[in-house]
């Protein structure tokens, strides 16, 4: 009997592969970073070929580390950075241009033009999303307009579009399958949220040929098999979900009202709202949470913080404050507070609830006494403040208080940050024993489809808390700090106009 699920976790800064056993424990993990390219201010690009190479390498490495034959793998699961857009040649499999990353803001002016035409409400009504450069549609349109011959070839079906899940599946199946799942499709601005299908009116608005789009399949279900030449045998690909939806599934957020926050490159909060999409009145977005086989789609409210863990990377890579990301906690603990320093890490604009592409990063409150530790602490606080704002908006939309916040992602291992989050949000923060919940959620989706696990009840029984961070800050202090944060954000907004 197969003993493992192999989860491929294709993130914004690295590709990872994890082997999970039936208890949901990690049997092996391999990771490889890849290049981040910033050709112009506001532009962020990836080399899709490098991503595929890295993802394939870590998949093989994870199997080798565990000493596992591929025949012991019941299924492969895929979870991925969402919205990042790659176009490739159907016949050669070669990308026609660098992939445009979800953080990229080059299409902000095009979005403003569409807003000026009054199309925002129509797009939001169909997709649950905001008309924003964050999503895939204007990225596809930009590539079709700027790569010679691309639009004409796309209309003939010779150029294909995919988010990273589609790109990986295409390569894993050696071009046999051009497919995406419900969650990734719901992030493109091209998919009707209720029907779960591509929408002709949206395709017309963004001038995108239907022939280049992948077919949409459930998040849990077999979408194809790997080519035998890759691993020595064909393995079913049975679970696919965007990283944040996968994390919510891995956190067992199966009940309406349950909320998780993933602290990765960005910070992404999802609240399960059940089987009916709930429009946001507080500048959040509505998204597909997952679709299990033929069961109805489940939906979520989402708030996206564009820069979370990436601020720690910036302190490491651009500022040389630390040599590794794990050092940030010790540095921030050298001081009792930020010394009046406020850090708004709006490097690529601000996400929810502001949706301001023209905001830019800002440090304010600096004095002669400010040192590296104050700035490090202010950076961690900024992650917590941004997430708290989103949590407040969610509670308003859901018309119910948030009872707890389940957390995952690399920065969730930072005890200082988690206590800050509990204090600033005013809710218990629960860190699971297994913080690899993005990959685990995808593994659960594949495991349900392959019979490795039998039900969501069985999956929920595998989830357990490792530590609960209770809020200790009083309401007056919390209110004062949130007001100061709002003042700082106000100074950073619209800076690039």
State yes or no: 414 annotated in a binding site. yes
State yes or no: 134 annotated in a binding site. yes
Asked if residue 86 is part of any domain, the answer here is: yes
Q: What is the mean pLDDT of the chain?
A: 94
State yes or no: 14 annotated in a binding site. yes
Asked if residue 444 is part of any domain, the answer here is: no
* Percent with pLDDT over 90 in the chain: 89
> 175: which 2 tokens?
């071009």
Segments forming the whole domain that contains residue 28: 4-244
State yes or no: 244 annotated in a binding site. yes
State yes or no: 243 annotated in a binding site. yes
Asked if residue 318 is part of any domain, the answer here is: no
Asked if residue 401 is part of any domain, the answer here is: no
pLDDT, tens digit, for every residue of 290-322? Answer: 999 999 999 999 998 989 999 999 999 999 999
State yes or no: 83 annotated in a binding site. yes
CATH of residue 36:
3.30.420.40
Out of 81-85, 151-155, 222-226, 356-360, which region has the weakest mean confidence (pLDDT)?
356-360
Confidence of residue 270 (pLDDT cuts 50, 70, 90): very high
- At residue 172, the pLDDT reads 98
**Could you tell me how far CA 88 lies from the centroid of its own chain?**
22
Asked if residue 346 is part of any domain, the answer here is: no
b/e string for 389-400 if b means 16 or more Cβ within 10 A?
Answer: bbbbbbbebbee
State yes or no: 410 annotated in a binding site. yes
Confidence of residue 125 (pLDDT cuts 50, 70, 90): very high
Structural domain count, the chain? 1
- At residue 410, the pLDDT reads 85
Report CA-CA distances (Å) from 417 to 82, 109, 170, 299, 406. 25, 35, 39, 29, 14
Burial class (CB in 10 A: 0-12, 13-18, 19+), 253: buried
Please, what sign has the CA dihedral across residues 253, 325, 265, 404?
A: positive
CA quadruple 400, 403, 407, 411: dihedral, nearest 10? 90
State yes or no: 136 annotated in a binding site. no
- At residue 399, the pLDDT reads 80
State yes or no: 265 annotated in a binding site. yes
> 468: which 2 tokens?
């609960």
Residue 80, classed as helix, strand or coil, is strand
- At residue 341, the pLDDT reads 97
DSSP string of 123-161, one letter each residue: HHHHHSS-S-TTSSHHHHHHHHHHSTTHHHHHHTT-EEE
Sheet holding 267-274, edge to edge: 285-290, 298-305, 267-274, 259-263, 405-408, 429-432, 465-469
Asked if residue 18 is part of any domain, the answer here is: yes
Measured from the Cβ of residue 325, the count of other Cβ atoms closer than 10 Å reads 17
Asked if residue 483 is part of any domain, the answer here is: no
Report CA-CA distances (Å) from 63 to 138, 433, 445. 38, 23, 20
**Are the beta carbons of 167 and 177 closer than 8 angstroms?**
no
State yes or no: 55 annotated in a binding site. no
- At residue 48, the pLDDT reads 97
Asked if residue 296 is part of any domain, the answer here is: no
Query: Residue 265: pLDDT above 90?
Result: no
Distance CA 360, CA 5 (A): 41
- At residue 475, the pLDDT reads 93
Average pLDDT of the segment spanning 146-174: 96
């Amino acid at each position: 009997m197969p003993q493992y699920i192999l989860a491929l976790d294709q993130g914004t800064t690295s590709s990872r592969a994890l082997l999970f056993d039936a208890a949901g424990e990690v049997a092996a993990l391999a990771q490889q970073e890849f290049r981040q390219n910033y050709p112009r201010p506001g532009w962020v690009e990836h080399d899709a070929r490098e991503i595929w190479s890295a993802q394939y390498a870590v998949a093989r490495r994870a199997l080798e580390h565990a000493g596992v034959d591929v025949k012991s793998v019941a299924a492969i699961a895929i979870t991925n950075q969402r919205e990042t857009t790659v176009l490739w040649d159907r016949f050669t499999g070669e990308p026609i241009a660098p992939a445009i990353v979800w953080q990229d803001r080059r299409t902000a002016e095009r979005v403003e033009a569409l807003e000026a035409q009054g199309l925002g409400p129509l797009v939001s009504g169909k997709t649950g999303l905001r008309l924003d450069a964050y999503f895939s549609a204007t990225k596809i349109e930009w590539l079709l307009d700027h790569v010679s011959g691309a639009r004409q070839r796309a209309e003939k079906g010779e150029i294909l579009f995919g988010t990273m899940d589609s790109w990986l599946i295409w390569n894993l199946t050696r071009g046999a399958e051009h497919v995406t799942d419900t969650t990734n499709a719901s992030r493109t601005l091209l998919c009707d949220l209720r029907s779960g299908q591509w929408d002709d009116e949206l395709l017309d608005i963004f001038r995108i040929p239907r022939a280049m789009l992948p077919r949409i399949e459930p998040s849990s279900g077999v979408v194809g098999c790997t080519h035998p030449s890759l691993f020595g045998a064909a393995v079913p690909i049975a679970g696919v979900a965007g990283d944040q939806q996968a994390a919510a599934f891995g956190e067992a957020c199966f009940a309406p009202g349950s909320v998780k926050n993933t602290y990765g490159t960005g910070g992404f909060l999802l609240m399960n709202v059940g089987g009916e999409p709930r429009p946001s009145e507080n500048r959040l977005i509505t998204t597909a949470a997952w679709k299990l086989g033929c069961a109805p789609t489940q939906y979520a409210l989402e708030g996206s913080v564009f820069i979370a863990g990436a601020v720690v990377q910036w302190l490491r890579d651009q500022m040389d404050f630390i040599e590794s990301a794990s050092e940030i906690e010790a540095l921030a603990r050298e001081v009792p507070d930020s010394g009046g320093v406020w850090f708004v890490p709006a490097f690529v604009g601000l996400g929810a609830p502001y949706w301001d592409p023209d905001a830019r990063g800002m440090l304010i409150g600096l004095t002669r006494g400010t040192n590296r530790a104050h700035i490090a602490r202010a950076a961690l606080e900024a992650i917590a403040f941004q997430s708290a704002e989103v949590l407040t908006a969610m509670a308003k939309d859901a018309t119910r208080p948030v009872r707890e916040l389940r957390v995952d992602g690399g920065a969730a291992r930072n005890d200082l940050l988690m206590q800050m989050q509990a204090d600033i949000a005013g809710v218990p923060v629960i860190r699971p024993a297994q913080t690899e919940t993005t990959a685990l959620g995808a593994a659960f989706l594949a495991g349900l489809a392959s019979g490795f696990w039998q039900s969501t009840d069985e999956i929920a029984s595998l989830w357990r808390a490792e530590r609960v961070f209770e809020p200790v800050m009083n309401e007056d202090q919390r209110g004062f700090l949130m007001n100061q944060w709002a003042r700082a954000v106000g100074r950073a907004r619209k800076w690039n106009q």
